[in-house]
Amino acid sequence: MAPSANLAALRDAVRDIPDFPKPGIVFKDITPLLASPPLFKATLDLMEARWRPERIAKVVGIESRGFLFAAPLADRLGAGLVIARKPGKLPYQTLSEEYALEYGVDTLHLHADAILPGERILVVDDVIATGGTAGAVGRLSVRTGGVLVGYSFLIELGFLEGAARLNGTPHHAVLAY
């Protein structure tokens, strides 16, 4: 498939679910894309092509759907996998970062020794919406001494302007809405 055909097929596989999880929200359901081996592979091919030249040492996947893309992408890039989790989910010493939600705050954690000083870091999630979650994980990665190279997403909801919260760090989304 040509890249433009890939993007059209990927876009067609993402279904809109109106009023989920609450009225007024249109949820982007990626499960049909994940269920299709050729479409999932095409997604990973596009993510890999963007970040391959960057010599990534660690890919940081954000709980939980970010894990779906981060693990195979880390394998393809020859990088280690680090997971960013909610409080109480990691068994060793952690660093944490709070970030703002629409109503309140949340926190994410990384193992304190997961990223070594100077390692080149790529943060991965399924969707960037307001950018709060991704930005928090990026800040955590830098606090460990890592060098934040960029952010990778399947979907960017551009109308929410989440990329503005990434402090100018390069980002790439396979699909933009």
Active site residue 102: yes
What does each C-alpha distance from 35 to 13, 171, 173 come to in angstroms?
Answer: 10, 25, 20
Active site residue 139: no
Task: Note the Cα 158 to chain centre separation in Å.
Answer: 15
CB-CB contact of 172 with 134 (8 Å): no
Q: Please tell me which residue in 11, 50, 65, 120 is annotated as part of the active site.
A: 65
CA distance 130 to 87: 21
Vertex 140 angle, CA 135 and 142, to 5°? 95
Q: Which residues are catalytic?
A: 65, 102
